[in-house]
């Protein structure tokens, strides 16, 4: 019999212990934020190893690579030896990469396929658009971004482009044939040039499991048990991968919280987690109700934020932690004042002895922190920014990587295109002319069966070099063309170690770089220098390229890489699963949060969940901040309304410090957002031909006195059917409110 699992079961409550020690089989832990889901998964990992399950047969799927590493390390601390290091852990995409490199031939690829990021994929769509002669002037042809979104959605939902356009993009119906054509060419282009986008990684992984019984059995033997964190953010493709991979043993544990589902733009659906018990009949469902992270005051506000969500799996979360202060709501005069408020409070927290790394500032979008970054720099507070711009999104980094990519995958036509265009006087026509002479990429089927393990034979770069050497270069660009050939020959001779390869490319690239970016090249130079330390950890350039594509490193805005005790600035999406002693959420203003792009109820509710995720990151101190005035693109100050979500938190739960004088803004009617009425509410009142009635006896009309739980008393000055009303509040001035969400009481 197995040894008593003393360590793995220590420090758990009974429900957690039940989950950790459950016998092999499907287990779903569905519970609110901070209830110890991730901790339960970590202990389960250790428990299984203690029980004698081979660590190398465990697969841990998480939302970031870092999360997987940390969880495995924590499980390791519960065990007497280092056996946990053998556990395979990572994101779905990284695991797909791992598996597809091995079984590439089975899905018609070679093992050296290149992973495309969003920018790469857009680049291909553009190439195809022009080579197919589509989207010429005069027609409102969908953008490459929209085209990709449609292609991706169709692939992930299996709806098919035809039905998708008919049901969701009706205004694009006239372009349906062109969209279908581009989608088909995009698919073939990727296959013939050894390219996979993010969707492909998952889709081919699933295809492998669906269609190849032998491989499925092999992978089933390799991974005896599956553990999945943040299951609420899986999409149907990932859910099916889990199902196929776990069968027939179904030794799988998933944990998640439907209220924290924030990736619908990647096809995730919070309802997915409810499907788990249907996918795995006999699932043991475990609920955790004690929150160990946040003070009761923070928990109450978090609960108030999520309470109005129309569809959710109800949970009773309580916290027994010692009470702290109420979360602070601060209306700053403008963005500068918002930044200063944050900096001053960080100073106070630091003075009270709190390590800076225990503080985070969270925001909806990467650019929301720009003003704060300046203020922090001026105050000498070092920070690390997460979830903002990616290093690999910038042109100069892509330029450098393109050279390394053709070295690893000479069929990667996209990268060839990029590096040829870098040469002086070479235009798209010439580049295409050169590329057309390259050896035709072997048909995908040829790769099948040429040695399952290694993937198909790789196309050697030598053949491409011969083509380049034979190409009749014009005088104007001959010199640069020769230098490129020299570089490629040097790269080919240099072996797989990444650093020497990078140095070769950087030396070659320097003059090109200075010619292309004369204005801001010092800044770009700093980015290039960031590449060296990134590569240093790798033995093989291929691993580096795959990892940077899967998990692109951030542009290091703080310049504080490696320094201890730094403040964290993060988008909310990148803060998932994490916790800090003190958390600031900034820009809680309408149009910023919820994002101005949230147009319908589904999106609006996703913004709410995002706010819930943000608030539940805080352990002891939570600060909610918004500017009452922002400077628009036209540099004119415009009045800013607080986020409608704030209006739903009862004021008694918040600490409202005295606010400054109102901003002097001319326009009390900023651009307003209209949300679609909620199902069941909308129809009835629109039949009444106008403004929805609030839950009170007296009708709402212009001139009526009203009270708002947060803004207090005011007068209705304008009604905008079907669901918006402008109110002048006695103390807070003009606000535009949504009747669906605001709780207005007529007096
Ligand atoms: P999220 O939904 O945000 O991902 P979670 O449910 O995964 O949260 P964890 O991160 O696992 O929650 O746990 C939150 C905090 O509570 C962590 O600091 C964790 O160590 C602590 N915790 C969890 N369970 C217990 C317990 N039984 N005893 C003491 N502390 C606990
Ligand atoms: Mg967690």
Going by alpha carbons, the residue nearest to atom 24 of ligand 1 is: 36
- Residue 433 Cα to ligand 1 midpoint, Å, equals 59
Summarize pLDDT for 563-610 with one digit per residue, the tens. 678 999 999 999 999 999 999 999 999 888 888 777 778 888 999 999
Question: How large is the average pLDDT for residues 162-168?
Answer: 88
Number of the ligand closest to the Cα of 30: 1
Going by alpha carbons, the residue nearest to atom 16 of ligand 1 is: 292
Give the HSE-up count for residue 647: Cα atoms under 13 Å, Cβ half-sphere: 24
Going by alpha carbons, the residue nearest to atom 19 of ligand 1 is: 36
Which of 8, 10, 39 has the most ligand 1 atoms within 8 A of CB, as the residue to mutate? 39
Terminus-to-terminus CA distance in the chain, angstroms? 72
Q: What local confidence, expressed as pLDDT, does residue 276 receive?
A: 95
- Residue 36 Cα to ligand 2 midpoint, Å, equals 7
Q: What local confidence, expressed as pLDDT, does residue 355 receive?
A: 96
Q: What local confidence, expressed as pLDDT, does residue 378 receive?
A: 92
Question: How large is the average pLDDT for residues 279-285?
Answer: 96
Question: How large is the average pLDDT for residues 460-488?
Answer: 92
> Do 193 and 412 meet the contact criterion of CB atoms below 8 Å apart?
yes
- Protein residues whose CB sits closer than 6 Å to any atom of ligand 1: 11-13, 16, 31, 33-39, 257, 260, 292-293, 577, 579, 616
- Residue 358 Cα to ligand 2 midpoint, Å, equals 17
- Residue 537 Cα to ligand 2 midpoint, Å, equals 28
pLDDT over 80 at 659, yes or no: no
Sequence-ordered list of residues with C-beta below 8 angstroms from that of 252, at least 6 positions apart, any chain: 26, 27, 225, 226, 227, 228, 242, 246, 280
Q: What local confidence, expressed as pLDDT, does residue 135 receive?
A: 73
Q: Please state, as a whole number, how many other Cβ atoms lie within 10 Å of the Cβ of residue 516.
A: 15
Q: What local confidence, expressed as pLDDT, does residue 698 receive?
A: 55
pLDDT over 50 at 2, yes or no: no
Question: How large is the average pLDDT for residues 107-114?
Answer: 92
- Residue 257 Cα to ligand 2 midpoint, Å, equals 9
pLDDT over 60 at 162, yes or no: yes
* Model confidence, pTM: 0.82
Binding-site residue positions for ATP: 31-38
Query: Measuring CA to CA, which residue among 613, 625, 622, 610 is closest to residue 583?
Result: 622
The region of weakest confidence among 287-296, 419-428, 538-547, 676-685 is 676-685
Which atom of ligand 1 is found nearest the CA of 41? 11
Binding-site residue positions: 31-38
- Residue 148 Cα to ligand 1 midpoint, Å, equals 38
Sequence-ordered list of residues with C-beta below 8 angstroms from that of 671, at least 6 positions apart, any chain: 591
Summarize pLDDT for 685-700 with one digit per residue, the tens. 333 333 333 333 456 7
Q: What local confidence, expressed as pLDDT, does residue 626 receive?
A: 94
Going by alpha carbons, the residue nearest to atom 11 of ligand 1 is: 36
pLDDT over 60 at 550, yes or no: yes
- Residue 576 Cα to ligand 2 midpoint, Å, equals 8
Who surrounds ion ligand 2 at CB < 5 A?
Answer: 37-38, 577
Going by alpha carbons, the residue nearest to atom 21 of ligand 1 is: 292
Which atom of ligand 1 is found nearest the CA of 33? 2
Q: What local confidence, expressed as pLDDT, does residue 562 receive?
A: 56
pLDDT over 60 at 670, yes or no: no
The string of DSSP codes covering 717-744 is EEEETTTEEEEEETTTEEEEEETTT---
Phi, psi values for residue 574, rounded to 5°:
-85, 0
Which atom of ligand 1 is found nearest the CA of 39? 11
Summarize pLDDT for 244-268 with one digit per residue, the tens. 999 989 999 999 999 999 988 777 8
- Residue 76 Cα to ligand 2 midpoint, Å, equals 18
Query: Measuring CA to CA, which residue among 391, 382, 335 is closest to residue 363?
Result: 335
CA distance 26 to 24: 7
pLDDT over 80 at 374, yes or no: yes
Which of 67, 260, 293, 612 has the most ligand 1 atoms within 8 A of CB, as the residue to mutate? 293
* Residue 635 CA from chain centroid, whole number: 30
- Mean confidence (pLDDT) of the chain: 85
Going by alpha carbons, the residue nearest to atom 4 of ligand 1 is: 577
Q: What local confidence, expressed as pLDDT, does residue 609 receive?
A: 94
Sequence-ordered list of residues with C-beta below 8 angstroms from that of 204, at least 6 positions apart, any chain: 96, 100, 107, 109, 196
Percent over 70 (pLDDT), the chain = 87
Question: How large is the average pLDDT for residues 463-490?
Answer: 93
What 3-state DSSP class applies to 706? strand
E-assigned strand segments in 273-336: 284-286, 290-291, 318-319, 328-332
Summarize pLDDT for 183-215 with one digit per residue, the tens. 999 999 999 899 999 999 999 999 999 999 999
Number of the ligand closest to the Cα of 40: 1
pLDDT over 50 at 678, yes or no: no
pLDDT over 90 at 523, yes or no: no
């Amino acid at each position: 019999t197995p040894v008593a699992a003393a360590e793995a079961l220590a420090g758990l409550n009974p429900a957690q212990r039940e989950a950790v020690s459950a016998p092999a089989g499907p287990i779903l832990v569905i519970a609110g934020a901070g209830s110890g889901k991730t901790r339960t998964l970590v202990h389960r990992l250790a428990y299984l190893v203690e029980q004698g399950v081979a660590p190398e047969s465990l697969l841990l799927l998480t939302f970031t690579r870092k999360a997987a590493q940390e969880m495995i390390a924590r499980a390791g601390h519960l065990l007497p030896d280092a056996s946990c290091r053998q556990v395979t852990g990572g994101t779905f995409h990284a695991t797909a990469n791992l598996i597809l490199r091995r079984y590439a031939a089975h899905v018609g690829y070679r093992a050296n396929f290149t992973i495309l990021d969003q920018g790469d994929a857009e680049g291909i769509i553009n190439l195809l658009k022009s080579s197919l002669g589509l989207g010429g002037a005069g027609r409102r042809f969908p953008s490459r971004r929209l085209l990709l979104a449609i292609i991706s959605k169709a692939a992930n939902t299996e709806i098919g482009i035809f039905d998708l356009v008919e049901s969701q993009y009706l205004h694009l119906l006239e372009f349906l044939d062109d969209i279908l054509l581009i989608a088909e060419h995009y698919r073939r282009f990727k296959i013939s040039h050894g390219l996979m986008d993010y969707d492909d990684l998952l889709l081919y992984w699933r295809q492998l499991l669906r269609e190849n019984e032998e491989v499925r059995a092999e992978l089933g033997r390799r991974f005896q048990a599956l553990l999945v964190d943040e299951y609420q953010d899986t999409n149907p493709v990932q859910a099916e991968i889990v199902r196929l991979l776990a069968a027939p043993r179904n030794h799988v544990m998933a944990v998640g919280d439907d209220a924290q589902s924030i990736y619908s733009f990647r096809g995730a659906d919070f309802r997915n987690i409810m499907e788990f018990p249907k996918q795995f009949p006999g699932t043991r469902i475990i609920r955790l109700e004690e929150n160990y992270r946040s003070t009761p005051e923070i928990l109450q506000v978090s609960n108030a934020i999520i309470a109005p969500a129309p569809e959710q799996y109800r949970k009773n979360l309580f916290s027994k932690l010692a009470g702290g202060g109420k979360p602070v709501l601060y209306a700053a005069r403008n963005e500068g004042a918002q930044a200063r408020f944050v900096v001053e409070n960080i100073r106070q927290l630091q003075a009270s002895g709190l390590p800076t790394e225990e503080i985070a500032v969270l925001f909806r979008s990467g650019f929301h922190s720009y003003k704060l970054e300046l203020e922090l720099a001026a105050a000498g507070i070092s920070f690390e920014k997460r979830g903002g711009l990616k290093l690999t999104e910038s042109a100069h980094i892509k330029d450098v990587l393109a050279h390394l990519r053709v070295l690893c995958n000479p069929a990667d036509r996209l990268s060839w295109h990029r590096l040829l265009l870098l040469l002086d006087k070479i235009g798209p026509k010439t580049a295409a002319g050169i590329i057309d002479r390259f050896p035709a990429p072997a048909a995908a089927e040829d790769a099948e069966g040429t040695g399952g393990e290694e993937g198909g034979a790789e196309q050697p770069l030598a053949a491409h070099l011969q083509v380049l050497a034979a190409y009749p270069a014009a005088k104007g660009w001959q010199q640069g063309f020769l230098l490129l050939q020299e570089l490629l020959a040097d790269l080919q001779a240099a072996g797989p170690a990444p650093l020497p390869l990078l140095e070769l490319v950087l030396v070659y690239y320097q003059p090109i770089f200075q010619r292309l970016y004369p204005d801001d090249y010092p800044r770009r130079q700093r980015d290039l220098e960031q590449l060296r330390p990134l590569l240093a950890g790798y033995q093989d350039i291929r691993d580096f390229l795959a990892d940077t594509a899967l998990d692109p490193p951030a542009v290091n805005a703080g310049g504080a890489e490696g320094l201890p005790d730094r403040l964290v600035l993060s988008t909310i999406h990148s803060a998932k699963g994490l916790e800090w002693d003190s958390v600031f959420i900034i820009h809680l203003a309408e149009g910023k949060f919820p994002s101005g792009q949230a147009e319908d109820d589904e999106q609006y509710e996703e913004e709410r969940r995002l706010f819930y995720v943000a608030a539940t990151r805080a352990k002891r101190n939570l600060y909610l901040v918004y500017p009452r005035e922002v400077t628009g693109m036209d540099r004119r100050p415009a009045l800013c309304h607080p986020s409608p979500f704030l209006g739903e938190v009862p004021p008694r739960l918040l600490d409202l410090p005295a606010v400054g004088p109102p901003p002097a803004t001319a326009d009390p009617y900023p651009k307003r957002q209209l949300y679609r009425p909620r199902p069941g509410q909308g129809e009835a009142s629109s039949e009444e031909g106008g403004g929805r009635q609030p839950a009170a006896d007296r009708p709402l009309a212009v001139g009526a006195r009203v009270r708002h739980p947060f803004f207090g008393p005011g007068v209705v000055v304008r009604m905008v059917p079907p669901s918006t009303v402008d109110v002048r509040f006695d103390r807070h001035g003009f606000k535009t409110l949504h009747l669906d969400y605001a709780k207005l009481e007529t007096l």
